[in-house]
Chain A
Amino acid sequence: MNAARAPLIGRSVERKEDHRFLTGVGQYTDDIVLPGQSYGFFLRSPHAHARIRSIDAGAARGAPGVLAIFTGEDLAGIGGLPCGWLIKSVDGTPMKEPKHPVLAEGKVRHVGEQVALVVAESAAQAKAAAALIEVDYEILPAVVETAAAAASGTAVHDLAADNVCYTWSIGDEGAVTAAFARAAHVTTLRLVNNRLIPNALEPRAANAAHSPGDDSYTLYVTSQNPHVERLLMTAFVLGIPEHKMRVVAPDVGGGFGSKIYLYAEETALVWASKRVGRPIKWTAERSESFLTDAHGRDHVSTAELALDAQGHFLALRVHTTANMGAYLSTFASCIPTILYATLLAGQYATPHIYCTVQAVFTNTTPVDAYRGAGRPEATYLLERIVERAARELRIDPVELRRRNFIRKFPHATPVGLTYDTGDYDATLSRVIDLADVAGYAARKQASAAKGLLRGLGYSCYIEACGLAPSNIAGALGARAGLFEAAEVRVHPTGKVTVFTGSHSHGQGHETTFAQVVADRLGLSLEDVDIQHGDTGKVLFGMGTYGSRSLAVGGSAIVKALDKIISKGKKIAAHLLEASDADVEFEHGEFRIAGTDRKKAFAEIALAAYVPHNYPLGTLEPGLNENAFYDPTNFTYPAGSYVCEVEVDPLTGKVRVDRFSASDDFGNVINPMIVEGQVQGGIAQGIGQALLEGCRYNEDGQLLTGSFTDYALPRADDMPALAIELAPGTPCTHNPLGAKGCGEAGAIGTPPAVINAVLDALAPLGVTDIDMPATPHRVWEAIRRHAR
């Protein structure tokens, strides 16, 4: 390619990966059948909390097709599943880390905990045999309620008699207390951030094989970060040398966080594959997904906001109890601390913030990151209390927000973060136009004429994405670095394969990353392939979560591309008999500045691999470069959302009528993909606000264990969306100026919806409602005030 073509960056090119998905030729873990394939089934605990007196697998061992049965006793020698982030309590003691066994040892601690692994010739035989295993349980009282866990009197783990994993704090308590003493007004709020069940379209699955020839393992697994999976499983649990295991995360049908973690199932399969001498495959049934995919959210919080007489925020004080579930999942401990409390400044210049977080164990499914991870919880709390303060002070909620916006950057918050850039007035002004707030009064009247209550709610969110500067993360307790790696392999013909440590499971990296590469090298999109998700191909990777792929993974690719271009210049200089410094690279051509002497990218690639005329004395042949990129700061996407609802006061039914979003993601590579990410996030946000609520009964039985009782948003729950990507304030510290967009919708949406519902109900005297605001809940809130 030579003549300058229009850049691909910024264009909504169609997704390269969609052809294989739409024509049904994607390769998911469950599609993979290995020679000699056998199948695993996990017998799971029917009780939330029980002592295992004995397990009798005698009859099951003799059942048709059974190859082996393993229980916790067989695996007692191996390690527990590790937690990747050490949080220290206020008193300096480390968090309580009870062993998270691969198969239950002595006790079960949540319904669905894996008690035995049955391996058989077919999945049906494994399942039928599992039904023959007799487990003698001594049922124990269950700890279920988040808020009551610490005082329940029953211990989930002996190690934590009061069920407290840690009590952590951030901020200057003294300064906050002093600010409250000066306050003209204090707004208080108690709220629950409802527990969610992720429900990726593709259930979790794994297929593990041992190769006796070199004593190595291959694991196919639905993972968002195969290298991390391998590192944790080999080094911390099974003691397998890291280089003796290959982890492949092939096409993965959605993750939302739930496929970040190292789970027991794949670990047990890897261990058992050597004992059985056959590859073992397991695919979760949907009921297993409900019971065992790490859940999200589950906070109970009280918050107080101190304001001066003019409505300036003086201080924010928050106490949150966060449910960890029965065991610490891989990143559980950092979600309600590092990814939550640090976000409590939001878009506001609140000078003092103090937050304490008590993390508790309960007899429920482990809780970990779910789309947004901590940041939705922070945003919900903040945007709810800001809206309530506006109502109490009779200040317009837009005006109150504007009075408190951060306008000078960089801005250091009192909770540890330094925002590099942003323009919160711009996104708020834009969304007010998009939402036609000017026409709202007329629409409200029209609704009233139909007997319906209309309400409008705002939400101004910020998130910290691009996880994470490794040194900052390390200081905060991370047990790993959070950089990203990339390799750019230029083939002799000038075609390019890029290996990225990011993983794509719906995000479209194969397209977005290719756009970046094609533009930098002056190639067409077809000349670039992106490979990901295989430790056997990709040098290293920390994976995809926390809206980090483009900002961190993409930046690593850019670094590797810079090295390619720099080496290409040297080769070109040699071929053109010029000095390196005189060679420019643009539009796929190396050219001696100011002349028409040039070499095409493909010619340089060929020269690198057929080094007949080549500076062999000073330069290695080949055109292949690796890079690692560690960000210097988080990125700070931000935006403003407006939700408009209609509430039917007789039934309590909430209908989202319109939803508008103005998002600042910095530079955008593919607007269509980004808008799709925002749409999906908004759908999940509406789901959390109006539909989704995980419920346990007092015995710890999951009451919402299927789609019959757990409501996910459907197409007709969605309003028309007006989404606009703001011209934006590019990130100042990564080479792409990109901030990340994957979680924004799920973060910004819930408070906008609930604020709208409360606005609609305000004339009836309703000032509070918890999520999900189901018709029943709304009706009850109305009725409470009518009495």
Chain B
Amino acid sequence: MSAMAYHRPSSLAEAAKLAAGDPDARILAGGQSILPSMKLGLLAPSAFIDLAALGELRGIRADRKSVTVGAMTTHAAVAASPEVMAAIPSLAKLAAGIGDPQVRNRGTIGGSLANSDPAADYPAAVLALNATIRTNRRALPADGFFKGLFETALAPGEIITAVEFPVPNTASYVKFPQPASRFALVGVFVAQTSTGVRVAVTGAGPCAFRVKVLEDALARRYAPQACEGISLPSGDLNTDIHASAEYRAHLIPVLAQRALA
């Protein structure tokens, strides 16, 4: 690792200014994705802009309609939050299933979404629950946020401040872990929301995506049996040493069914 600058801004505006001033600088949240990439030599930012001092980005607020999670809230905090457990238990469960205790105590929801790892868990929840991603500039809808492999709708230097999840009627997440990393080999989040049934998948493609055939089938009948007999094309899905595209395509309806069981 070569020498680099480290900034710890005390306001969001200062953080945004630092980010705008140096295109090679990187926001630092929990460091659980960015530091491993740097150690492997895949990334060498000129500077860190550490959001750790921005207390307003941390914390969870909930009312009857929605749960808002600050970008710097750790996975462990979401997993242990009574508000999340009461309003969207599947979201707390998802957070509890990310990585290991060390990762959960450092890693943040903002970092996870900005990173858009193809196998990360949160993107499935954000898409299925039709969440809104708030940044220092605007509010971005979940649909259209995940653009591709490690690619999102965030503009350069744009900072996620919070994620607002509308409370669903019911929702459930099932993760089938990759045996080594235990990221999602395939993860399926199923939700019945005020705007209809939404099914989002992570781990299977370049980024999280929704599955219309499953949504349609579940809109007709929100029950495990509705997933039976549905087969998905594998054409655009990932193949790697852990799973073929066909296997991933096969797992999606199987896991959706289990999410409802």
Contacts and interface: CB of A to CB of B under 8 A. Distances in A.
Contacts of B243: 776
B222 interface: no
A421 B129 CA distance: 67
Contacts of A709: 180-181, 241-242
Contacts of A651: 176, 251, 254
A776 B244 contact: yes
Contact of B1 (A124, A703, A704): A124
Contact of A710 (B1, B2, B180, B251): B180
B48 interface: no
A287 B179 CA distance: 19
A691 B242 CA distance: 11
Interface string A121-137: 00010001000000000
Nearest to A285: B39
Interface string B1-17: 11000000000000000
Contact of A779 (B2, B181, B250): B250
Interface centre among B2, B179, B180, B254 (most CB of A within 10 A): B179
Contacts of B242: 709, 774, 776
A707 interface: yes
Contacts of B179: 691, 711, 774-775
A650 interface: yes
A652 B242 CA distance: 13
A263 to B, nearest CB: 24
Contacts of A779: 247, 250
A780 interface: yes
Contact of A704 (B40, B176, B241, B250): B241
B53 to A, nearest CB: 28
Interface centre among A650, A704, A707 (most CB of B within 10 A): A650
B228 to A, nearest CB: 11
B143 to A, nearest CB: 29
Contact of B180 (A708, A775, A776, A780): A708
A402 interface: no
A774 B254 CA distance: 17
Contacts of B180: 691, 704, 707-712
A695 interface: yes
Contact of B247 (A124, A711, A780): A780
A128 B2 CA distance: 8
A23 to B, nearest CB: 22
Interface in A758-787: 774-776, 779-780
A657 B244 CA distance: 27
Contacts of B244: 776, 780
A650 B254 contact: yes
Given A650-B254, A651-B251, A695-B241, A707 B181 contact: yes
A779 B243 CA distance: 10
A725 B242 CA distance: 38
Contacts of A707: 180-181
Interface string B206-243: 00000000000000000000000000000000000111
A781 to B, nearest CB: 12
B73 to A, nearest CB: 25
Contacts of B176: 651, 653, 775
Interface in B152-207: 176, 179-181, 185
Contacts of A780: 244, 247
Contacts of A776: 242-244, 247
B26 to A, nearest CB: 20
Nearest to B41: A131
Nearest to B255: A651
A481 B2 CA distance: 50
Nearest to B243: A776
Nearest to B1: A124
Nearest to A128: B2
Contacts of B250: 779
Contacts of B2: 128
A648 B185 CA distance: 16
B132 to A, nearest CB: 32
A652 B254 CA distance: 11
A652 B251 CA distance: 10
A711 B242 CA distance: 10
Contacts of A711: 179-180
20 contacts: A124-B1, A128-B2, A287-B40, A651-B254, A652-B247, A691-B180, A707-B180, A707-B181, A708-B181, A709-B180, A709-B181, A709-B242, A711-B179, A711-B180, A774-B242, A775-B179, A775-B185, A776-B244, A776-B247, A780-B244
Return the 10 tightest CB-CB contacts between A and B, nearest first: A711-B180, A711-B179, A708-B181, A776-B243, A650-B254, A709-B180, A776-B247, A703-B241, A695-B241, A691-B179
Given A650-B254, A709-B242, 12 more contacts: A287-B40, A651-B176, A651-B251, A653-B176, A691-B180, A703-B241, A704-B241, A709-B181, A711-B179, A711-B180, A774-B242, A775-B185
